[in-house]
Amino acid sequence: MSISIKDLPDFEYVLPGSAACAGCPSAIALRMVGKALGENAIMLMTPSCAVASIGPLPKSCYSIPVLNVCFASAGASAAGLAMALDALYEKGRLTGEKPTIFNWAGDGGTYDIGFQGISAAAERNDDFIHFCYNNEAYSNTGMQRSGATPIYAATTTTPLGKEVHRKNLPLLMLEHRVPYVATASLAYPTDLIRKVKKAKDIRGFKYIEIHAPCYTGWKFPSSDTVKMSRLAVQTGSWLLWEAEFGKVVLNSPTSLLAAEKIKPAPLEEYIGKQGRYAHLADSPQKEEILAAMEKEIRRELKFMAARAEL
């Protein structure tokens, strides 16, 4: 299934003049998701930048029905909505195509605070898509560290750099044995839209994580949002893969990196542009730390390539 940008619909999820920062990756990702899912959809949001972007009552920048639910409840709320709709269709109170139900949560609402609800919904195989737009910190409240913050990255609560590794949540979701899990990146829009369309047609729990570089939190110019997404993939810091019913397939260019057909982009090019790694620039252990980061990237690549063999 190949996707042409020219054939995408005009329909927008995010209307111009939202309250999001200029260059917000969540708004870009949500516009792309909207072009894949279409108008017949219901979105649930946990507290995040995407909620702050809605704007003050009684105005909303989103053109589809949106429910704001509490932080820990993304999984439970979407599951309840999906079951309620199923019941109404069964009784004949609703007819026509069932709307696509999806969560739009940040990494805080997925990795940390929302995890138990999502894990339970995945285990029950409830019928909705959970999107995590991963900006690697609690950006909405001022860039505190989250479970998705990579090691050595400085945040307001880890001013000298985070000391522990991030979780590999897409892999955790995969091992819940759900029908569909995928990772995506803003810089590869056709790949992202293809994955969302595929998830729409599968019944059961779907998990899609979109890497979303946040320029205010990571401290780089707003115009480089997409460039930073691309560098994350090209350096191997963010891996693109999808798994239907547990069978992992690496997507290009991650598959080429894993097969060593292309060389990864220099890691310094990626982290050197981000203010959150600025403390590394004049650190006496700079070389050691860079080598450790590269080693970790190779480990993750090798691990996912081996997981794809299963």
Partner 1 sequence: MNDRSIYPLSQPVKGAGGKTGSWRTAKPVIDLEKCSGCLLCWLFCPEGCIGKNDRSIDYAYCKGCGICGAECPKKAIVMVKEEQR
Nearer to partner 1, 67 or 87 (CB): 67
Which of the residues 249 through 268 are near partner 1 (CB under 8 A)? none
Q: Is residue 2 at the binding interface for partner 1, with CB under 8 A as the rule?
A: no
Supply the DSSP symbol for 213: -
The residues pairing with 104 across neighbouring beta strands, listed in sequence order, are: 45, 131
Token digits of residue 148: 């998705």
Q: Is residue 20 at the binding interface for partner 1, with CB under 8 A as the rule?
A: yes
Among 39, 40, 59, 259, binds partner 1 (CB under 8 A): 59
What is the C-alpha to C-alpha distance for residues 255 and 289, in angstroms, rounded to an integer? 26
Q: Is residue 243 within a helix (H) or strand (E), and if so which, with residue range?
A: strand 241-244
CB of 273 to partner 1, least distance (A): 12
Specify the 3-state DSSP secondary structure of 117.
helix
Instruction: Kindly indicate which of the ranges 27-35, 233-241, 249-257, 280-288 contains the residues binding partner 1, using the contact rule CB under 8 A.
Output: 27-35
Among 169, 280, 289, 273, CA closest to 265: 273
- Measured over the CA atoms of residue 162, residue 49, residue 269 and residue 221, the dihedral's sign is negative
Q: Is residue 33 at the binding interface for partner 1, with CB under 8 A as the rule?
A: no
Q: Is residue 226 at the binding interface for partner 1, with CB under 8 A as the rule?
A: yes
Q: Is residue 32 at the binding interface for partner 1, with CB under 8 A as the rule?
A: yes
CB of 12 to partner 1, least distance (A): 5
Among 1, 2, 3, 18, binds partner 1 (CB under 8 A): 18
Alpha-carbon 164 to chain mean position:
21
Supply the DSSP symbol for 217: H
CB of 117 to partner 1, least distance (A): 23
- Measured over the CA atoms of residue 248, residue 167, residue 127 and residue 64, the dihedral's sign is negative
Nearer to partner 1, 166 or 194 (CB): 194
Note the residues at the interface with partner 1 (CB under 8 A): 5-6, 8, 10, 12, 14-25, 27-28, 31-32, 53-64, 186, 189, 221-227
